[in-house]
């Protein structure tokens, strides 16, 4: 689960990059929105990784 | 648009930046003392020796490999997409050849990066305190200095004609002045904080920290004097880093430097005042180690913002940093089961992220916030997975964690054969079960 979350994070980054390429500077609001979507995907990946860590930690407690 | 080459330094600027960079190691000394003080007494010598060894290893690894890929002056690997150049990896000369005859500005930039990578590499060492082997700490530092740090440094600090892709966001995509991070809130602190998270995930918590069916065991730092004195040392080093970074990477005029120094102090002051108030409210009395963490978070946040915001904004940035610190430290430990003795994930990771966002919020150029968000996305989306993958592989070759017996007797006796305080009684580990 931790690895799955970490794999999602680069996907969010590429979404952010695509915002720069897809939207012209004149459409700043859409571009910023798309960048935020990329960051949200990264945050989702981080949350999944953290959840994976918590589950593994709970199993390994002495 | 054709990127503009930075103007050549006058001699007075060169001397000033050189003097500032000679003061910058105080930041490393401060963080090293804080790392040591927040660990346990039976691991103190190993902790401080580890900081020293890591500084040495990063210097060697960066000189041999990292400086080439950081390549802040020697061009870079560029691919073209959507009609724009993307300079993603440096191609500097190997083994620092030709550095002595390079432009003075390039030499100062290289010195800045040597100090910055050392500061970044001691951050995960503090998080792995009391269970991370010395050899593992050095190996982690070598990987950071040779692979991870150079990538980020090139993206943000490359000052050659084409420039790193994050630094050129303003030129290529009309996003403000490009990604702003003059003193390394992202390149040093977020990178260090995310590396700390990866290390803690791989090494696991200290034995007895999270008992079955109970609350997290409190394992307070062993020396509040080290911690708080480290904070004062760090202030001097941070001011030097912030001023030198502003001149080197933003070409700030000398007349703007006093305000940058004041902003650094205001950010740290606001942060420690806020942490003091929060811990006083939550626990009835101020907590010394959390206040130290708050102070440091304020300094970390100032790394991105001190050179580009007003004093009032710097104070606000510090206050927010100081409120976040104790709350996030508590959440990470109690809710997320992350054992981070130095609080580096909060202080450097979260503090650095907040500083980068704040620089975007309070800096003047339009589109600056978007540029900062793109930079954060690059650090979070690429650097954390890369660091975790590299450390996970490294852990197979150089096991991070000491064995259970070593952890029980303490890292000093186990790894060094002697303690940091031989004339004092070292109490047995009550939390070991």
Q: What is the pLDDT of residues A3-37, one digit of tens each?
A: 999 999 999 999 999 999 999 888 999 999 999 99
The most confident of A25-29, B164-168, B229-233, by mean pLDDT: B229-233
Quote the DSSP letter at residue B158: -
How far apart CA B372 and CA B156 sit, in angstroms, is 11
Residue that has been written with the tokens 């003193």 in this structure: B183
Instruction: Please count the other Cβ atoms lying within 10 Å of the Cβ belonging to residue A22.
Output: 12
Q: Do A39 and B210 touch (CB under 8 A)?
A: no
Q: What residues in B contact A35, CB-CB < 8 Å?
A: 370, 373-374, 377
Q: What are B127-156's pLDDT values in tens digits? A: 999 999 999 999 999 999 999 999 999 999
Chain Cα centroid distance, residue B348: 6
How far apart CA B13 and CA B105 sit, in angstroms, is 10
Of B81, B338, B373, the CB nearest to A35: B373
pLDDT attached to residue B348: 97
Check residue B82 and give left, alpha or beta (phi > 0: left; psi -120 to 50: alpha): left
**Residue B384 in contact with partner chain A when CB distance is under 8 A:** yes
Give the pLDDT band of residue B1 (cuts 50, 70, 90).
Answer: very low
**Residue B1 in contact with partner chain A when CB distance is under 8 A:** no
Take residue B128 and report the two structure tokens written for it. Answer: 């792995």
Backbone angles phi, psi at B174, to 5 degrees: 55, 40
Give the pLDDT band of residue B429 (cuts 50, 70, 90).
Answer: low
Q: What residues in B contact A23, CB-CB < 8 Å?
A: none
Reply yes or no on whether the pLDDT at B71 is more than 90.
no
What counts of helices (H) and strands (E) characterise chain B? 19, 2
Give the pLDDT band of residue B31 (cuts 50, 70, 90).
Answer: very high
How far apart CA B66 and CA B157 sit, in angstroms, is 14
pLDDT attached to residue B151: 95
How far apart CA B175 and CA B73 sit, in angstroms, is 23
Average pLDDT of the residues of chain B: 92
**Span B204-208, average pLDDT:** 91
For B25-432, which CATH class? Answer: mainly alpha
Indicate which of B80, B202, B370 best probes the interface with A, i.e. most A CBs within 10 Å of its own CB: B370
Reply yes or no on whether the pLDDT at B321 is more than 60.
yes
Take residue B6 and report the two structure tokens written for it. Answer: 């930075």
Reply yes or no on whether the pLDDT at B204 is more than 70.
yes
Here the ipTM equals 0.96
35-94 in chain B: CB under 8 A from chain A: 81-82
Quote the DSSP letter at residue B180: -
**Residue B29 in contact with partner chain A when CB distance is under 8 A:** no
Reply yes or no on whether the pLDDT at A59 is more than 60.
yes
pLDDT attached to residue B193: 97
d(CA A39, nearest CA chain B) in Å: 6
Residue in B closest to A24 by C-alpha? B173
Q: What are B171-198's pLDDT values in tens digits? A: 999 999 999 999 999 999 999 999 999 9
pTM (2 d.p.): 0.95
Q: What residues in B contact A21, CB-CB < 8 Å?
A: 81-82
Give the pLDDT band of residue B428 (cuts 50, 70, 90).
Answer: low
Which one, of B144, B133, B130, B135, lies nearest residue B192 by Cα? B144
d(CA B374, nearest CA chain A) in Å: 7
Domain limits, chain B: 25-432
Sequence-distant (≥ 6) Cβ neighbours of residue A7 within 8 angstroms: A45, B385
**Span B326-348, average pLDDT:** 95
Q: Do A62 and B207 touch (CB under 8 A)?
A: yes
Q: What are B283-299's pLDDT values in tens digits? A: 999 999 999 999 999 99
Which one, of B185, B166, B179, lies nearest residue B372 by Cα? B179
Percentage of chain B lying above the pLDDT 90 cut: 79
Which one, of A54, A53, A50, A15, lies nearest residue A36 by Cα? A15
How far apart CA B38 and CA B47 sit, in angstroms, is 10
d(CA B55, nearest CA chain A) in Å: 29
Residue that has been written with the tokens 């930046």 in this structure: B17
Take residue B258 and report the two structure tokens written for it. Answer: 């006093």
Reply yes or no on whether the pLDDT at B364 is more than 50.
yes
Q: What residues in B contact A50, CB-CB < 8 Å?
A: 336
pLDDT attached to residue B216: 87
Residues of chain A contacting B, Cβ within 8 Å: 2, 6-7, 9-14, 16-17, 20-21, 25, 28, 31-32, 35-36, 38-39, 42, 45-46, 49-50, 53-54, 57-58, 60-62
pLDDT attached to residue B92: 85
């Amino acid at each position: 689960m931790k690895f799955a979350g970490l794999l999602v994070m680069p996907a969010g980054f590429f979404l952010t990059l695509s915002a720069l390429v897809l939207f012209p500077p004149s459409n700043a609001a859409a571009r910023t929105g798309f960048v935020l979507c990329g960051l949200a995907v990264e945050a989702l990946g981080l949350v999944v990784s953290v959840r994976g860590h918590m589950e593994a930690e709970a199993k390994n407690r002495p | 648009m054709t990127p503009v080459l930075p103007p050549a330094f006058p001699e007075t600027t060169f001397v000033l930046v050189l003097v500032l960079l000679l003061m910058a190691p105080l930041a490393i000394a401060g963080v090293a003392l804080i790392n040591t003080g927040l660990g346990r007494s039976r691991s103190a010598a190993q902790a401080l020796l580890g900081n020293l060894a890591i500084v040495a290893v990063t210097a060697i690894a960066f000189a041999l490999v990292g400086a080439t890929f950081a390549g802040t002056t020697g061009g870079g690997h560029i691919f073209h997409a959507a009609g724009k150049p993307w300079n993603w990896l440096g191609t500097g000369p190997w083994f620092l050849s030709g550095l002595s005859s390079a432009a003075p500005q390039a030499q100062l930039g290289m010195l800045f990066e040597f100090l910055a990578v050392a500061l970044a590499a001691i951050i995960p060492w503090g998080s792995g305190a009391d269970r991370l082997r010395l050899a593992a700490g050095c190996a982690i530092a070598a990987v950071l200095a040779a692979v991870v740090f150079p990538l980020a440094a090139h993206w943000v600090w490359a000052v050659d004609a084409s420039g790193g892709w994050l630094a050129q966001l303003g030129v290529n995509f009309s996003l403000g002045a490009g990604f702003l991070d003059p003193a390394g809130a992202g390149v040093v602190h977020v990178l260090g904080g995310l590396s700390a998270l990866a290390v803690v995930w791989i090494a696991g918590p200290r034995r007895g920290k999270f008992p079955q069916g109970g609350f997290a065991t409190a394992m307070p730092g062993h020396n509040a004097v080290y911690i708080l004195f480290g904070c004062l040392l760090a202030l001097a080093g941070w001011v030097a880093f912030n001023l030198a970074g502003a001149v080197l990477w933003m070409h700030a005029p000398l007349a703007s430097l006093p305000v940058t120094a004041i902003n650094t102090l205001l950010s740290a002051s606001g942060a420690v005042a806020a942490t003091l108030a929060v811990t006083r409210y939550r626990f009835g009395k101020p907590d010394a180690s959390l206040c130290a963490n708050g102070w440091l978070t304020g300094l970390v946040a100032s790394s991105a913002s001190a050179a580009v915001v007003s004093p009032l904004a710097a104070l606000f940035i510090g206050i927010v940093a100081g409120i976040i610190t104790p709350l996030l430290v508590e959440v990470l430990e109690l809710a997320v089961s992350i054992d981070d003795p130095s609080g580096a994930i909060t202080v450097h990771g979260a503090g650095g992220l907040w500083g980068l966002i704040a620089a975007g919020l309070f800096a003047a150029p339009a589109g600056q916030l978007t540029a900062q968000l793109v930079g954060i996305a690059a650090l979070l989306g690429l650097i954390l997975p890369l660091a975790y993958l590299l450390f996970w592989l490294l852990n197979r070759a150089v096991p991070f964690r000491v064995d259970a017996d070593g952890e029980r007797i303490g890292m000093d006796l186990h790894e060094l054969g002697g303690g940091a305080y031989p004339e004092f009684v070292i109490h047995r580990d009550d939390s070991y079960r």
